[in-house]
Amino acid sequence: VGCEWLFGGSLTLHAVAENLLFRVASGDPAATRACIDRYGGLVWGIARRFFGGNADAEDAVQEAFLDLWRSAGRYDPKVSSEAVFVALIARRRFIDRRRRTQRRLDTEPLVMDSASTSQSAEQVTEANLAGRALDQLRPEQRQVLLLAACHGMSHEEIAQATGMPLGTVKTHARRGLVAVREILSRGEGERLTGARGASSPPGVQS
């Protein structure tokens, strides 16, 4: 028996069973633990960039997961991957929390961390697509966009940190994100095209 009428005809029962967020939404306690295991590093990493590695970041992570449990039912695999949905919910919570606390973050270096966690194939694919998009930006645009989107810094904070005029920061952040969105849309199209008949997403060695 399929679940077409429940999931718009695009998902099989197997896909539903594999999808952690559907299971979370259905109240499966094992799925919440698995979700923390799979995405805890991602949510923590974003929180650390927004708030520094302090107690605030830990509280923020807890809030983000509570939001995720409430929002899991709204996840649509046709719109984004699970990892991106989790990061989206976390960013929203952290932006809101930063507005409330208005604490300055300890800026973290923009290098990849050595203490890294393994990622799912889905996350690797997303990372490849977004990494490709970042590579196509000018260095100063990439720097500003990462500070704004991944470190949660306000435009004023970025202007102070980089010495760029506020208007330039605003333009780089916004046009950079628009460019990434366009590149991701093209890449998503390529991925879907390439995925036909293939068992692994592009960029993942099987």
Shortest Cβ distance from residue 78 to other proteins (Å)? 12
Shortest Cβ distance from residue 2 to other proteins (Å)? 27
For the CA atoms of 118, 54, 149, 192, what is the dihedral angle to 10 degrees?
Answer: 20
Q: How far apart are CA 94 and CA 61, in angstroms?
A: 9
Shortest Cβ distance from residue 61 to other proteins (Å)? 7
Among candidate residues 58, 66, 104, 101, the one with its CA nearest the CA of residue 86 = 66
13 vs 30 by CB, closer to other proteins = 30
Q: How far is CA 104 from CA 92, 158, 161, 169, in A?
A: 17, 12, 12, 18
| Contacts with 91 (C-beta within 8 Å, 6 or more apart), sequence order | 46, 149, 152
Both structure tokens of 68:
């995720």
3-state secondary structure of 60: helix
